[in-house]
Each structure stands twice: as structure tokens, then as C-alpha cells.
């Protein structure tokens, strides 16, 4: 395979942003998701996450709801405002009822820490499949209304 074909493959890979204030979590998720073929960007900073989704395309953002410096729920709402087409998966170590309700109402999935890597991959695939399905439906509606 030549360099141009490899570049095309990379450009077609789905992009995932991971936001957590624990570097060890970011490193683990980057390794696991990259091995699955995703392009992964990580950050510990909420403002940087919003800037990243505002200036680039991400298919999925995975964010910890229990961030220390910023309320993760606020972060997820800001990501959704900046990039409505980006799917969201919440992570939490504090599955209180209000967190679970938020995740159910505003995200495409929720992972309770600690989670198995198989759960992570299931949540990622499900959120991305739903995003593709919804974008396909939107395109079909747009083409019939033209």
C-alpha cells in the first residue's frame, strides 16, 4: 500500500476526543481506541476540549462527568453546542441518580468507572453507529425535501 492510500485510510478513520483529568485514564483509552483503528485526541482541560470540537471534526467525545476543574455536565453541553453532530459518551465514578438522568437525557451512552474495556468498546461502537444512522436519516430527509 502506498503512502497516499495510507493517508486516505487515516483520513477516513473516525475521530474520538477523550476528556478526563486523570492522565492514566487518557493514556489507557488512547492506547485501546487507537488499537481499534480510531484517531484519538486527549485532553485534561475542558476549555481545550471545547476549542478542539469547535475547530475540528470529532465523531465522538468521551468525557468524565466528575472533572475536578469543570463540571463535566457543563462541558458536555458546551461540546454539544459547539458541535451538535458529535456523539457523546459520559464516564463517571459517581453514578448518582442526577448523573445517570443527565447521561440518559443528553448523551449517547454512559460508562460507570471502573468499566471493562469491552464495555468501553461497546459504548463507542453503539454511539458511533447511532451517529451514522442519524446522519444518514438527515441526508435522506434533506434529499427528499429538495
What three-state secondary structure class fits 108? coil
Burial class (CB in 10 A: 0-12, 13-18, 19+), 16: buried
Indicate yes or no: pTM above 0.95: no
As a whole number of Å, the end-to-end CA separation of the chain is 40
CATH number of the domain located at residue range(s) 3-145 in this protein = 3.40.50.2300
CB–CB of 19/49 below 8 Å? yes
User: Per-domain residue ranges for the chain?
Assistant: 3-145
Helix pair 72-82, 46-55: axis angle to 10 deg: 10
pLDDT score at 68: 72
CB–CB of 60/128 below 8 Å? yes
Position 95 pLDDT exceeds 90: no
32 closest CA partner among 123, 121, 125: 121
- pLDDT tens, position by position, 71-91: 888 999 999 999 999 999 999
Position 134 pLDDT exceeds 70: yes
Q: What is the mean pLDDT of residues 123-137?
A: 85
Amino acid at each position: 500500500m502506498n503512502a497516499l492510500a495510507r493517508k486516505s485510510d487515516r483520513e477516513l478513520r473516525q475521530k474520538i476526543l477523550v476528556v478526563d483529568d486523570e492522565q492514566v485514564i487518557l493514556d489507557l483509552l488512547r492506547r485501546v481506541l487507537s488499537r481499534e483503528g480510531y484517531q484519538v485526541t486527549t485532553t485534561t482541560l475542558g476549555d481545550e476540549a471545547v476549542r478542539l470540537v469547535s475547530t475540528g471534526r470529532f465523531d465522538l467525545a468521551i468525557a468524565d462527568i466528575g472533572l475536578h476543574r469543570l463540571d463535566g455536565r457543563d462541558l458536555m453541553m458546551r461540546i454539544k453546542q459547539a458541535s451538535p453532530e458529535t456523539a457523546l459518551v459520559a464516564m463517571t465514578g459517581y453514578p448518582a441518580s442526577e448523573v445517570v438522568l443527565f447521561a440518559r437525557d443528553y448523551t449517547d451512552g454512559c460508562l460507570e468507572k471502573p468499566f471493562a474495556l469491552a464495555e468501553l468498546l461497546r459504548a463507542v461502537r453503539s454511539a458511533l453507529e447511532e451517529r451514522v444512522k442519524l446522519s444518514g436519516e438527515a441526508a435522506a430527509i434533506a434529499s427528499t425535501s429538495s
